Amino acid sequence: MNEIKLKLPLPPSGNKYYRNVNGRMVKSADARDYCKKIQGAVASQNLTPLQGEIVLDVRVYRARKIGDLDNYLKILCDSLQGIAYHNDSQIVGLYADRFDDKNDPRVEICVSLSLRKPHE
């Protein structure tokens, strides 16, 4: 398999990703819950994480006209670790678009192996 396509729930904003707890930055409860939700949503698909360099094509459909596109990406990339790829350090390309859909907020993502040639 060289490609994984997923339709996922909209992640919480990156502004809610980390919380300061006694001087340490830790993942918020919202971020941890979202990661668990993603794992549950794709568990039945028996996905094998892709090996090698990968490219993400992300379409974010938000419910309201608020929220920056980039605020959704960090938690989304982290939540797919161990599911679509082993580690987000494999990501060498990221393409993202934002749309509005108040009736069906979601993220549609295509994870594929990179076709770029390594530099010689």
DSSP letters spanning 65-93 = S-S-THHHHHHHHHHTBTTTBS-GGGEEE
Mean pLDDT of the chain: 89
89 pLDDT tier (thresholds 50, 70, 90): very high
Tokens of 98: 């934002």
Over residues 25-75, the pLDDT tens digits come to 788 888 889 888 888 888 888 899 999 999 999 999 999 998 889 989 988
At 7 the pLDDT is: 95
Q: Is the pTM of this model over 0.75?
A: yes
Q: How many CB atoms lie within 10 A of CB 76?
A: 22
User: What is the CATH topology of the domain spanning 3-113?
Assistant: 60s Ribosomal Protein L30; Chain: A; (3.30.1330)
Residue 5 is inside which H or E element, if any?
strand 3-8
- The reported pLDDT for the residue numbered 118 is 63
Is the per-residue pLDDT at 120 higher than 80? no
How far is residue 2's CA from residue 31's CA, in Å, rounded to a whole number?
28
The pair of three-digit structure tokens given for residue 69, joined into one six-digit string: 């596109």
- The pLDDT, as a whole number, for residue 1 is 67
CB burial class (10 A; 0-12, 13-18, 19+) of residue 51? exposed
